[in-house]
């Protein structure tokens, strides 16, 4: 037992070191780290001293995927997600379902022995693109923010859709060897799983934010953060819901609610923790894939199918997925343009209703807020209107990644032609990462998609930062009037806050050397101002009046101010 434990520990430690080294090298030479890790993992597996790696399927489903999706969900702005919900839903639900069925039909026609359930399981595995690499590259290349948001949102929800389909197909496989999937139970199971997951995910998310708001210790806060995705997953699964959907919803709720209720220092610590976890686990999946690849190839060779035939099926699926994805883009673009016209007409009708109601009534106040929100949405979406070039980029950014690699290994051991299905999924992941991922940067540059909005962003930042700072100064003034604090101290603190407009990126420091009572009062006033600024920014964020990236910049500035103040208090 001791020897096995030591061996496993050694493998994990060496794996982490390899991942760190390969990630560093990949960044320097401009090659995708997953591809290098697959190649290196295959080479390592051929060494005589390398132990055979067998990861139980439940490890991928319950330990690896939930925190990866949770980490991604924490970063998605709710306003942008809401504005692009139609596009995200189209790509992540309809397109994934169509892609999975298309793959299932092709695979069943080529390998009838697999049955429709097994073919649908493979379709669910290869249907969802992994947008992590696409969004990271898109941000570096300056892709339009709306395109990046769509890819981020798609990468979250499509994984959930695909894994619900996969679990349904796997259930059909394991039911007394039944390989048939009936449409009506499939739809019903899918609907129930999603509804339960929405409720559980939202409940866990709101409860977690409340609990962490009052957690008195950083270690406890970190422990709660680490437990959240697993708690959300297990609770939803226990209630016959989709654990993956619940995890995504919890991440969205916490990521957007925590900015108001959880200290900036703890959110920064949480981001660092999950960032490290994601890099290690996501790249570790590809390293494990490379180490398992020779065994999968050997199992295919030992069967009735030739290795070359299985690889050709994988290449055919790559082409099929690409065709289905591109074919879905024109209807999406036409639908969005038609909806934009309806949105403007609805906004005009809403304005007419406001005129009829007049001012002062409660109903008019609600309609006015809705009118303002829709107006901001229309301005933002018109400013980032999608065209055929954007659709080409979205269509090409359909690389398969860690979810495909991890999910295919959850297929039951008694699945017909399991080795062939696993290898086909591996081929899809490798080829799409190599071909589409390797050429996405070239395509973006060829389409001239990068938008230079520097001047507008600078103006937005100055305007939003000015409004937010004034909200904090007003709060300080009210507190000073109530408590009889010297007006000169309020003015000193206010001037220091206003100066952030000139050097916003370097705002977080306070003077740590002066511990007099006056400085303590200023620090308390500034704490009050930060709370007021966060409250104001949260209200502005909900209206969608400013671009989410602009809001995020101001949020970081406020966070740095809070972190600096907290560091001062800890030091003294």
Residue 507: the pLDDT is: 35
Average pLDDT (295-306) is: 72
Question: Is 90 exceeded by the pLDDT of residue 200?
Answer: yes
Q: Please give the pLDDT value at position 66.
A: 86
- The pLDDT confidence band at residue 138, using thresholds 50, 70 and 90, is low
State pLDDT tens for residues 454-494. Answer: 556 666 667 777 788 888 888 888 888 888 888 888 888 88
Give residue-wise pLDDT tens across range 101-127. Answer: 999 999 999 998 888 888 999 999 999
> What does the pLDDT read at residue 508?
32
Instruction: Kindly report, residue by residue over 400-421, the tens digit of the pLDDT.
Output: 877 888 888 888 877 888 888 9
Q: Which residue has the higher pLDDT, 280 or 60?
A: 280
pLDDT at 141: 61
* Cα 300 to Cα 39, 139, 210, 294, 303, distances in angstroms: 19, 40, 51, 10, 5
Q: State the pLDDT at residue 464.
A: 78
The predicted pLDDT at position 95 comes to: 92
Q: Which two tokens stand for residue 304?
A: 């009735």
pTM above 0.75, yes or no: no
Asked if 257 and 78 touch (Cβ cutoff 8 Å), the reply is no
- Quick one: tokens of 135? 């969004």
Question: Residue range 552-556: average pLDDT?
Answer: 84
**Confidence tier at 566 by pLDDT (50, 70, 90):** low
- What is the average pLDDT value for the chain, to the nearest integer? 78
| Chain centre distance of CA 6 | 35
Task: Tell me the residue length of the chain.
Answer: 572
Are the C-beta atoms of 107 and 122 separated by less than 8 Å?
Answer: yes
Distances (CA, A) of 565 to 264, 507, 562: 11, 11, 5
In angstroms, rounded to a whole number, what is the distance separating the alpha carbons of residues 456 and 442?
A: 27
Q: Please provide the CATH number assigned to the domain covering 62-285+308-333+384-447.
A: 1.20.1530.20
Query: What residue ranges do the domains of the chain occupy?
Result: 62-285+308-333+384-447, 334-377, 454-571
pLDDT at 331 over 80: yes
- Using CA atoms, how far apart are residues 177 and 173, in angstroms rounded to an integer? 6
pLDDT value at position 456?
A: 64
pLDDT at 322: 93
Structure tokens of 151? Answer: 């890819």
> pLDDT at position 504, please?
46
Q: How large is the average pLDDT for residues 551-562?
A: 83
Both tokens of 364, joined, read 């008019």
- pLDDT score, position 555: 85
- Tell me how far apart the terminal alpha carbons of the chain are, to the nearest angstrom: 50
Residue 185 has pLDDT above 50, yes or no: yes
To which H or E segment does residue 5 belong?
helix 2-29
pLDDT in tens, 375-384: 666 666 666 6
Is residue 570's pLDDT more than 70?
A: no
Q: Given a cut of 90, is residue 321 above it in pLDDT?
A: yes
Cα 509 from Cα 513, distance rounded (Å): 12
């Amino acid at each position: 037992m001791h020897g096995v434990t030591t061996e496993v520990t050694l493998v994990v430690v060496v794996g982490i070191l390899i991942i760190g080294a390969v990630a560093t090298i990949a960044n320097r030479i401009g090659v995708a780290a997953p591809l290098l890790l697959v190649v290196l993992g295959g080479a390592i597996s051929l060494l005589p001293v390398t132990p055979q790696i067998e990861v139980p399927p439940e490890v991928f489903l319950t330990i690896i995927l939930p925190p990866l999706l949770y980490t991604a969900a924490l970063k998605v702005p709710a306003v942008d997600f809401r504005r692009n919900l139609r596009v995200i839903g189209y790509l992540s639900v309809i397109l994934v379902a169509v892609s999975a069925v298309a793959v299932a039909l092709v695979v069943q026609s080529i390998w009838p022995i697999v049955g429709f359930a097994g073919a649908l399981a493979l379709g669910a595995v290869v249907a969802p693109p992994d947008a992590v690499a696409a969004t990271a590259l898109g941000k570096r290349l300056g892709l339009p923010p709306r395109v990046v948001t769509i890819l981020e949102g798609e990468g979250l929800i499509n994984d959930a859709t695909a894994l619900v389909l996969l679990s349904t197909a796997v259930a059909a496989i394991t039911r007394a060897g039944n390989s048939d999937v009936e449409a009506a139970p499939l739809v019903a199971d899918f609907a129930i799983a999603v509804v339960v997951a929405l409720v559980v995910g939202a409940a866990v998310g709101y409860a977690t934010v409340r609990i962490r708001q009052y957690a008195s210790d950083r270690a406890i806060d970190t422990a709660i953060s680490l437990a959240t995705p697993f708690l959300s997953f297990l609770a939803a699964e226990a209630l016959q819901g989709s654990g993956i959907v619940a995890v995504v919803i919890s991440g969205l709720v916490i990521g957007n609610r925590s900015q108001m209720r959880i200290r900036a220092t703890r959110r920064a610590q949480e981001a660092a923790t999950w960032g490290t976890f994601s890099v290690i686990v996501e790249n570790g999946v590809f390293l494990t894939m490379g180490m398992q690849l020779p065994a999968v190839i050997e199992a295919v060779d030992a069967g009735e199918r030739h290795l070359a035939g299985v690889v050709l099926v994988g290449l055919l699926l790559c082409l099929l997925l690409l065709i289905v994805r591109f074919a879905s883009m024109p209807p999406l673009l036409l639908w969005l343009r038609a909806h934009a016209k309806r949105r403007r007409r609805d906004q005009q009708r809403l304005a007419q209703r406001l005129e009829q109601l007049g001012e002062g009534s409660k109903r008019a106040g609600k309609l006015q807020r809705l009118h303002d929100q829709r107006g901001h949405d229309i301005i933002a979406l018109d400013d980032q209107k999608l065209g055929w070039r954007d659709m080409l980029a979205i269509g090409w950014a359909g690389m398969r990644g860690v979810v495909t690699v991890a999910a295919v290994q959850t297929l039951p051991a008694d699945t017909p032609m399991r080795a062939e299905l696993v290898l086909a999924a591996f081929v899809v992941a490798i080829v799409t990462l190599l071909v589409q991922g390797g050429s996405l940067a070239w395509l973006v540059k060829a389409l001239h998609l990068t938008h230079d909005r520097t001047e507008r962003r600078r103006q937005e930042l100055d305007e939003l930062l000015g409004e937010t700072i004034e909200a904090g100064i007003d709060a300080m003034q009210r507190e000073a009037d109530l408590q009889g604090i010297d007006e000169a101290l309020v003015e000193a603190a206010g001037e220091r806050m206003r100066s952030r407009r000139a050097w916003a990126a370097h705002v977080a420091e306070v003077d740590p050397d002066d511990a007099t009572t006056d400085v303590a009062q200023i620090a308390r006033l500034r704490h009050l101002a930060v709370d007021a600024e966060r409250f104001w920014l949260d209200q502005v964020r909900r209206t969608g009046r400013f671009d989410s990236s602009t809001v995020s910049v101001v949020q970081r500035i406020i966070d740095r101010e809070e972190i600096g103040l907290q560091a001062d208090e800890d030091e003294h």
